[in-house]
Amino acid sequence: MDISEEDYKLAKEAHVSDCTGGSIHEINLVCASIVSAHMLWTSLVQANIICQDSFAPEFIIYVLPVLSCLTIASDYAAYVTVAMATVALFIFSSKKPTTTAAAADANHNETKQAEHKSYLTVYRAGTMILTCIAILAVDFQFFPRRFAKVETFGTSLMDVGVGSFVFSSGVVASRAYIHPQQQQQNRAFIKSFIKSIRSALPILVLGFARFFLTKSVNYQEHNSEYGLHWNFFFTLGFLPPFVTTLSFLRRFASFSVLATVIAIGYQTALCQGLQDWILKAPRVDMISANKEGICSFAGYLSIFMFGLECGSIIFQNDLSTTRISRLFGIAQQKQTKQLAVHLFTFSALMWSGFGLWISLFPEFYVSRRMANLPYIFWVIAFNLTLLSCLVLVESKSQIRGGGRGPPMLDAVNINGLITFLLANVLTGTVNLSIRTLYANDLQSSFINAAYMLIVTAVPWIMWRSFKIRIKF
């Protein structure tokens, strides 16, 4: 189609604007493809049908089905998910190992999971793959508008993806706070704060780099997402110093209590007029120009701290003495089964809180743009449910030498921020090279598959071939 660059830019901005989202049920079904893909990979490796250390089978199992569920097969995502799970269950039932081998492998895996948490590998890399697929696919017509970020109120796959990225970061960061009292004795607040600033600087630099690059190439922007100058890298970059400051309050209250106080306080401010200011106030200065990014930071901070609390449970060595273990009589069960019950219980509480809120206060529905309380409820409930399902799958796994989990996903995790940065750079490159809005389904599928091949192959080569690990 022969239109000017400026008109095409406006068309691209309109393409991702005024979206109303879709149903939470459909989002859960699409994301369940990660769980069924892991079931399939586990069953095939356990039955010695595929090689555990091969890239191609992992790409075919973990990436292509998820890509299809988000795009050309979006209307049939439930069938894709159920089909993979059915094949996996059939292989599990027909290829059972001997009792002695199964017991040995189970004990070996329990030890390995205590060190590496392979279900965490699948969870983090799975959400990263979903995120990377969506940030490019959204620019093509074959990506359903109901999956794109909602303008103001509503739920979509990309909305929960943003929050999940923050939550999963909190889960991993929790390892630094497992022994908080010892940490506080050994390190003064000033030293901790300076260290957090240093860890935040590279991400903030990426935020400024993205801002200047998008302005210099006249890249399409969606100002109501974060504001005129703010972007997601700034949100990620400001989290470490704020969390470090709040972590010194943990001697008085848990991360979940602190996160709840922040979430309720922020929602109270929204109900008292802050919401109207975010949605209606003109952009007249630096604060109002970036009101969405600045205000939503409180919600993302709460999500991150709930992730810290979840991580402290995951990395706890013994769950047998907790109230939940005693209540459900699972103190003598395997650690993974105890963890699954804990996560399912907390997810049920969050889903209940979410349901209660939207039934009592429908006028304050889910808003990723503001990261309000129902959005926080939803993101945490979704992630706890996904995590608990993956833990349940791992508890049934009998793969010899399991440990770190699927190698491709492990490589993506090891260089997670590089993977995310690469996906952003490639997304910009594709958008500047072709007019994605006018690509047909075949072209769109090929481009997005090739893009994901690069996004997953680069960290694979970096880690598997050269042992390169870049940490920010």
User: What gap in Å lies between CA 415 and CA 463, rounded to an integer?
Assistant: 8
pLDDT, position 107: 52
pLDDT, position 403: 67
User: What gap in Å lies between CA 258 and CA 361, rounded to an integer?
Assistant: 23
Which distant-in-sequence residues (6+ apart) come within 8 Å of 3 by Cβ? 11
User: Tens digit of pLDDT for each residue in 265-307?
Assistant: 999 999 999 999 999 999 999 999 999 999 999 999 999 999 9
Q: How many CB atoms lie within 10 A of CB 64?
A: 15
User: Tens digit of pLDDT for each residue in 187-211?
Assistant: 577 888 898 999 899 999 999 999 9
pLDDT, position 369: 97
Give the chain's residues under pLDDT 50: 98-104, 113, 182, 185-186
Q: How many CB atoms lie within 10 A of CB 461?
A: 13
Task: List the structure tokens of 169.
Answer: 């970061």
User: What gap in Å lies between CA 160 and CA 440, rounded to an integer?
Assistant: 27
**Average pLDDT of the chain to the nearest whole number:** 91
User: Tens digit of pLDDT for each residue in 98-138?
Assistant: 444 444 455 555 555 455 789 999 999 999 999 999 999 99
